[in-house]
C-alpha cells in the first residue's frame, strides 16, 4: 500500500468553511482537517450546530 498525497491543484483550493489566512498545517495538527486537507466530519457536524 502506498500513501496518496494531495495533488498540487487541490492544495490551492480554499474550503468555504475556512477564513483566508488560516494555517492549513495547524488545522491538520489540531485534527480539524484530515491529512488530505478536507474538513473533518466531526468538525463539520459541530459547525452545523453553531
Mean pLDDT in runs of 10 for the chain (50 residues)? Answer: 46 70 90 89 86
Could you tell me the residue ranges of all domains in the chain? 22-50
CA 19 to chain CA centroid, nearest Å: 12
Confidence (pLDDT) at 13: 54
Contacts of 50 (CB under 8 A, 6+ apart): none
Q: Measuring CA to CA, which residue among 43, 36, 35, 37 is closest to residue 14? A: 37
Name the pTM for this structure.
Answer: 0.56
Amino acid at each position: 500500500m502506498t500513501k496518496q498525497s494531495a495533488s498540487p491543484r487541490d492544495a490551492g483550493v480554499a474550503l468555504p468553511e475556512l477564513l483566508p489566512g488560516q494555517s492549513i498545517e495547524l488545522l491538520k495538527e489540531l485534527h480539524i482537517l484530515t491529512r488530505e486537507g478536507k474538513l473533518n466530519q466531526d468538525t463539520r457536524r459541530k459547525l452545523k450546530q453553531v
